[in-house]
Amino acid sequence: MSTVVQTAQSAVHQSESLLAGILIQLAIIVAAGRLGGELAARFGQARVVGEMLVGILLGPTLFGALAPELFRIVFTDVPSAPMMILSQIGLILLMFEIGMEFDFSLLAHNHHKRATTYVSILGIILPFALGLIFGYYAAPVLAPGINQVGCALFVATAFSITALPTLGRILMEFRLTRAPIGVVAISAAAINDVVGWLILMVVSALAISSFSFGSFSLRLVALAIYGVVCWYLVRPQLRRLIGLETRRSPGLSSNLLASTLVLLFVSALTTYLIGIFAIFGGFMLGLLVHDQREFTEQWADKVGRFVQVLLLPVFFTYTGLRTNVGSLTTAGDWLWCVALIGVATLGKFGGGYIAGRLAGTDHVSAKILGLLMNTRGLMELIVLNIGLDMGFISQKLFTMLVLMALVSNVMTTPGLKRWLPKLGDRYRTAEDKGATTHQPTG
């Protein structure tokens, strides 16, 4: 009997020790995330830049290098599974919110259609092509032993995606959401986002199928059936549920919250079973309710803030723990890193600039379009983590791509501050004309 009691006590002690370790990590992560966001805002950068940077600094790049023993106690000695699960749940909830906030009306905007079409097409094709070439020839050096085609596909996907949430935040900070250039940029980025996620789903399914056409085809068919069922069967019922619960209890009731969470987790589980990542299920369910404005606003207020303050910093830190700038040990590594950042920037910035010029915009406006399309952030990190988890991106290449995402974000705000004033009143809406350029506060 005493042995049973001792075993139970030992299990309780282990659970309490694990809980203590996780609580320490969460306290550090939440505090550091808020501090990073505030500092970024003070320096005129988007908050996501500070949150990304803090995540990297909490990893082996700085914390692990300066205080290896303390880093080991805080992060290494505590099992990583709980934090990984928290970060994945946070991503599922975040992708649901991103899907909810997607504005389909942007895709059918009658004004500036030519520029939007050109920017969205070249904003995908050029970076994807450059990423495919770069990834294929860099793989033997930066990712030896990894499938060359798989590596190239993930690098190409990472090069292609524009971070729609980050871009939207920047446009709001500069009061460009209704300005012509802002409408073109956000519309093109929205199209890029949808195409980018489709590319990622296809690439993931192809990679999971070990590049077997038969297995890949089955996954695509399953994915298509899932999409049809969601849109034509689940969507009407979900809208009916939201309407019914809203009439019974205005706002986001407990019943509606619970029902939505159940559907969200089932959708995420379904995409996982299909053979692609669970986060795509979150995004799809969000798309189904994008036009339920009262519901989406209540969700963003009551659930979104919790995700932004706790679960999103956990994801940034989890990414930071996998990013070690110290792994770039040679001059050759840093040359490859600079080349990668250069090619990625050339693809996105160049695609936006060329498209703008082809659509008839002036030189400065085309540069601003290229700069906005080059904005990367959370979306990029999601792609990179998927590639690393699947074994198609090496640790060294992962670090380089994370740095690329960070640098591209840092470039955006200073570039806008420099080039927007050169447009004079052309970038402002009617109500903004006569006002000074708004500087971002975060």
In angstroms, the CA 9 to CA 16 distance is 10
- Cα 318 to Cα 390: distance, rounded to the nearest angstrom: 16
Concatenated DSSP letters of 41-88: HHTT--HHHHHHHHHHHTTTTTHHHH-HHHHIIIIISS-SHHHHHHHH
Residue ranges per structural domain of the chain = 81-427
pLDDT for res 83: 86
Q: How many C-beta neighbours within 10 Å does residue 34 have?
A: 16
User: CB-based burial of residue 52 (10 Å sphere; 0-12 exposed, 13-18 middle, 19+ buried)?
Assistant: buried
**SS3 (DSSP) at 100:** helix
Residues of the chain falling short of pLDDT 50: 429-431, 433-442
Q: Can you state the angle between helices 395-419 and 113-142, rounded to 10 degrees?
A: 150
Structure tokens at 403: 């740095």
Q: Quick check: 109 and 183 in contact, CB under 8 A?
A: yes
Separation of first and last alpha carbons in the chain: 60
Q: How far apart (Å, rounded) are the C-alpha atoms in residues 161 and 174?
A: 22
pLDDT (0 to 100) of residue 141: 94
Contact partners, residue 98, CB within 8 Å, separation at least 6: 164, 165, 283, 286
**Between the CA of residue 277 and those of 128, 144, 174, 310, 330, what are the distances in Å?**
21, 25, 34, 22, 35
pLDDT in tens, 356-399: 899 888 899 899 999 999 988 777 888 898 889 888 999 999 99
Q: Which of 294, 261, 274 is nearest to 227 (CA)?
A: 274
pTM summary value: 0.80
> What CATH architecture does domain 81-427 belong to?
Up-down Bundle (1.20)
Residue 437's pLDDT is what?
42
Give the H/E segment covering residue 179. Answer: none
Give the containing element (helix H, strand E) for 394. none
